[in-house]
Structure 1
Amino acid sequence: MRFGKKGKLSPRYIGPFKILARIGERAYRLALPPDLDRVHNVFLVSMLRKYLSNFSYVLRHEALDLLPNLSYEEVPVQIMDCKVKVLRRNKEIGFVKVLWRNHVIEEATWELEEEMRQRYSYLF
């Protein structure tokens, strides 16, 4: 999974960062942590969300092991559910719901069972 094109962060919210400077009318320079030093630190306003401080809410910021091309390997942690989809011609396709490392339960995805058995046989 990449942080987007040309080293920019993905639109998914990853943490609160301090705004260092306003650049033009629609862009801001952010103070990113040292582990994201290879990521471009200027973002359009449309990508940012206002942070309302709430002391009962604690953010988890886990360091990612980024490869030189700003990508990292997704690793499945466990299989949460499975289902079989029946197609028109009586063909059945198996799916499994996979929980990935560095993701919460709500972000689990449905993957093809056959493909997961080939790549990650230790989960079964």
Structure 2
Amino acid sequence: MKGVMRFGKKGKLSPRFIGPFDILERMGTLAYRVAFPSNLTEFHNVFHLSMMQKYMSNPSHVLNYEPLQLTPHLSFEEKPTQIRDMQEKRLRNKVIQMVKVKCMNHSKEEATWETATEMRSRYPELFGTF
């Protein structure tokens, strides 16, 4: 199950924001109905104000929105795209090789440290340059 996250659950590889969407109407004092694209129609489209983030308009800001590829049971698999760094983690009796992995739909600041043996067995194509 590592690398497979349910939509909306907290976790190491879960998305913080899934995109800029238009607000259709105000449902109450703190609830809003949001316009989702056709691939997200399975989700409830009414959100509490605390779950939204205000967008500050800036003409030089370009939004790069890539829709998530969700499976029918509303999960997605993170695909690592790049190895950013390698290091050795020294314990008392052994040394563990670690790699810093950048995944799709994440910025370089959100790269995570994973064990090199597991990543090499699951994604050998990433180790061509290292």
Is TM (by shorter chain) over 0.5? yes
Separation (CA, whole Å) in 2 of partners of 1:53 and 1:106:
23
1:14-29 equivalent positions in 2, closer than 5 A: 14-29=18-33
Indicate if the aligned counterparts of 1:17 and 1:30 stay in contact, CA closer than 8 A.
Answer: yes
- Residue in 1 that maps onto 2:47: 43
Q: Is the 8 A contact 1:11 1:47 kept in 2?
A: no
CA distance in 2, matches of 1:29, 1:11: 21
Q: 1:85 and 1:31 mapped to 2: Cα distance?
A: 46
State the alpha-carbon separation in 2 of the partners of residues 107 and 44 from structure 1: 26
Equivalent residue for 2:57?
53
How many percent of aligned residue pairs carry the same amino acid?
60
SS at match of 1:122: helix
CA RMSD, Structure 1 to Structure 2 (Å): 1.8
Look up the equivalent residue of 2:123 and give its one-letter code.
Answer: Y
Tell whether the 8 Å contact from 2:7 to 2:76 is kept in structure 1 after alignment: no
How many Å separate the matches in 2 of 1:107 and 1:100?
8
Aligned residue pairs, count = 119
TM-score (norm 2): 0.81
> Scaled by the length of structure 1, what TM-score is found?
0.85
- 2:106 counterpart letter in structure 1: H
- Where in structure 1 are there 5+ consecutive unaligned residues? none
Taking the aligned partners of 2:117 and 2:79, their CA distance within structure 1 comes to 17
> Structure 1 residue 83: deviation in Å?
0.6
Residues 11/99 of structure 1: CA separation in 2 closer, same or farther (3 Å cut): closer
Deviation string 1:86-121 (CA, Å, 9 cap, x unpaired) is 11x232111100111222212211111111111112
Name the structure 1 match of 2:121.
118
Aligned to 1:65: 69
**For residues 119 and 37 of structure 2, what CA distance do their matches in structure 1 show?**
34
